[in-house]
Amino acid sequence: MGLKQVIYVSEKTDFSDASLTNIYDVSQQNNSGESITGCLLIGSNSYLQVLEGPEHSVNKLYSKINNDRRHKKVTKLRDELIEERMFSSWSMKFSPFNNLEWSNKDFETGNFLNIKPDQATRIFEKIKDLIS
């Protein structure tokens, strides 16, 4: 079975710390069992996430996210088969948006809602380079 990568952006509906803690705990617990890795950027009003893993598992998780009430306006930016993972050792890395330097004013404020697919890919490549 091939590996798949999905990058999506969504608007936050719940800004509480409890919601973020729950997302983190559930992701850590469930993703490793499904062989899913990736990275979630937590912005001020939005999430930007890359999911990687077996095609069936990634599709199933993306469907769950799309129906999760903590997200709205879920928009898929990338959906492709890949040869190797960007974040092979992270069952799900969470990173606040303000840990990176941004060249885009919206990104500086944690607003990823208008991001283009190529911009999103470059962001995750930059994170990968920082951890390598």
Per-residue pLDDT of 70-120, as tens digits, reads: 889 999 999 999 999 998 877 665 555 455 555 556 566 678 899 999 999
- Tell me the helix, strand and coil percentages in the chain, rounded to 5: 40, 30, 30
What span, in angstroms and rounded, lies between the C-alpha atoms of 132 and 122?
A: 15
Per-residue pLDDT of 32-72, as tens digits, reads: 778 999 888 888 889 999 999 999 999 999 999 999 888 89
Task: Decide: helix, strand or coil at residue 18.
Answer: helix
| Domain around 107 | 3-131
Q: How many domains, in total, are found in the chain?
A: 1
Task: Decide: helix, strand or coil at residue 125.
Answer: helix
Distances, alpha carbon 76 to alpha carbons 4, 16, 29, 111, 117, in Å: 13, 24, 24, 16, 9
Q: Report the pLDDT value the prediction gives residue 8, as an integer from 0 to 100.
A: 96
Q: What is the CATH number of the domain that holds 8?
A: 3.30.70.100
Predicted TM-score (pTM) of the model is 0.85
